[in-house]
Structure 1
């Protein structure tokens, strides 16, 4: 029992139709359904093992044992699996983020998706991916989508059991993304805090929820038709609407920095020169640029020449979360 070590990997995702707001804070049930693209450039590797002699869980992130507050957060998440599996043994979590933490690059998505995938195997639950997505959702809402690869929809559902994710397309049709790291510093206002403030105080928020459902329907049609231009237009408009809701909060806030605006302007300029590309942003200053994979190198060169101190990072389409041992078995998606 003590020698059983399970390692899983999960990739981040970038929401094209944003998740911004919860209708249930405890269960992480969203106000609206969302849709994302899983990215292969950023990921988290997590190993879990049993601690039969220990009185508490241990959480080690990037080689550093975490303080009590973070330990308790992880233990609460592990409890979901312990309760379902009917066990009480304490667990050691060793996690390495290949993503800057808390900088708007969705590190929590890959982190909880990797942890959930590892715990699913360690505890013997062996849930299917759809069911597993309802568990990891309770650690981080966006982790729901990182269980799958390609284009993934998180259906808001009606309760904790059907608020889950599913892959709607493998995105194998010339899709890529560039990330411009405007800042990888830890955010002053976390996504969770910003989201809560927006839901509770922004006059713009009700309109956001109403439009998000329409945007989701339209983007799914664009994906089904493999219409990249329409996909990009909807992505860009939806992301900016989300950030607009923050300006209507009390007090107003923004994750943008001066360089953020310059990058957005440059992307618009590149598009005007005949290279289709579209920006989006999560809760942070960093800009992601949706583009065709076949044109990514050319667009990247222009961005890197313009912002040499903030070199962009190329990402292809990522696969769903998997056990690292599955690579040898050919079971990875």
Structure 2
């Protein structure tokens, strides 16, 4: 095959409404549970990958990457090189890569920056290396960088099938979900956009290994996913919201049961969740969800998202210095532009 050598891809972040937490296979990133997400329009990563030069495949730290113009180093760079090694092996090419990413998602703050980041890297690296992959194969490839990235290959509502091996663990659009996804919105409450104190991977491993609450959550998870799928099929936002909030609160409870405990939620996070529940009591469609970080996302209707955002901001801002909010809607899937260097 003849590599394109250079390609640019854009992928959007997604918010898991029904969570993935815990791996059955660490190396291949095969999850213990399937998950369901909404890809978002306002939060995305654009990445350009260019292969060139001779030499060992990513050996000796010869790959280089920048994020928003700053060099990527340390563990983050190691993850990029390991991912590029997978692409080089599949494509049968050698030589280092230059990677340049621009991110609208606050990095490492529990806002799914790794999802958009590795989905964009998968799309750009595969195209630059000359691989001709369909969406399912791109999803499987993106999964090797970050599990949630498998879902960002697709727009709107997507489900990541846990599977049992590399071939069967992939994301795909939710059947009948496209028209319903256009009715949904997420209000993002950015309470703290700084890096997390503990990585998702470490928190996940600790939870699975030590929390007595983890297996009961896995058992409940199947019901949450079934309820979410049924809600989407019926166009029932309330039922989807109830499953979303219960699944997220249960996931965070499993972390607090770990040894030592993992607690991403701050006092501001807890206040935000209570305020979301108050908004629901006031008549808004509003259900809280949280990933591995302190920030709170609120599932709501596209029609009432702006009004809900104002209602939440007015009540939270006085006691939450630096609060930022963002209204997002259903976003598109991965896009790739190929070019010869």
Aligned residue in 2 for 1:26? 27
Q: CA deviation at 1:172?
A: 3.9
Aligned residue in 1 for 2:14? 13
Name the stretch that deviates more: 167-176 or 261-270: 167-176
Over 3 Å counting, the alpha-carbon distance change for 1:157 and 1:65 in structure 2 is: same
| 1:241 matches 2:235 | no
Q: Distance in 1 between matches of 2:338 and 2:128?
A: 13
Find 1:312's aligned residue among 315, 325, 332.
325
Q: CA deviation at 1:266?
A: 0.9
Aligned residue in 1 for 2:214? 205
Over 3 Å counting, the alpha-carbon distance change for 1:274 and 1:256 in structure 2 is: same
Q: Distance in 2 between matches of 1:5 and 1:253?
A: 41
Over 3 Å counting, the alpha-carbon distance change for 1:324 and 1:273 in structure 2 is: farther
5 Å-filtered alignment, 1:316-331, equals: 316-324=329-337
| 1:99 matches 2:110 | no
Deviation readout 1:250-284 (Å, 9 max, x if unpaired):
11221011111111111111111111110100011
5 Å-filtered alignment, 1:196-235, equals: 196-235=205-244
5 Å-filtered alignment, 1:155-194, equals: 155-168=161-174, 169-170=177-178, 171-194=180-203
Deviation readout 1:181-216 (Å, 9 max, x if unpaired):
111111111111100000000001111111112211
Contact 1:32 1:212 in 2 (8 A): yes
Q: CA deviation at 1:131?
A: 1.0
Deviation readout 1:149-187 (Å, 9 max, x if unpaired):
111000001111110000012244411010001111111
| 1:122 matches 2:123 | no
Contact 1:13 1:145 in 2 (8 A): yes
Query: Equivalent residue of 1:91, what SS?
Result: strand
5 Å-filtered alignment, 1:268-279, equals: 268-279=277-288
| 1:90 matches 2:91 | no
Q: CA deviation at 1:53?
A: 4.7
Query: Equivalent residue of 2:45, what SS?
Result: strand
TM (norm. structure 2) is 0.92
5 Å-filtered alignment, 1:273-292, equals: 273-292=282-301
Aligned residue in 1 for 2:39? 38
Aligned residue in 2 for 1:331? none
In structure 1, the gaps of 5 or more residues are 327-333
Deviation readout 1:261-320 (Å, 9 max, x if unpaired):
111111111111111110100011100000001001110111121233413101010111
Q: CA deviation at 1:2?
A: 11
C-alpha RMSD of matched pairs (Å): 1.7
Deviation readout 1:39-82 (Å, 9 max, x if unpaired):
11111010001221566211111111222433222111011111
Query: Equivalent residue of 2:261, what SS?
Result: coil
TM (norm. structure 1) is 0.94
Contact 1:103 1:183 in 2 (8 A): yes
Deviation readout 1:223-250 (Å, 9 max, x if unpaired):
0111011010100000000001011111
Q: Distance in 2 between matches of 1:224 and 1:317?
A: 17
Aligned residue in 2 for 1:329? none
Q: Distance in 2 between matches of 1:37 and 1:31?
A: 20
Contact 2:54 2:94 in 1 (8 A): no
In structure 2, the gaps of 5 or more residues are 57-61
Q: Distance in 1 between matches of 2:268 and 2:77?
A: 35
Aligned residue in 1 for 2:82? 76
| 1:251 matches 2:257 | no
Q: Distance in 1 between matches of 2:196 and 2:72?
A: 19
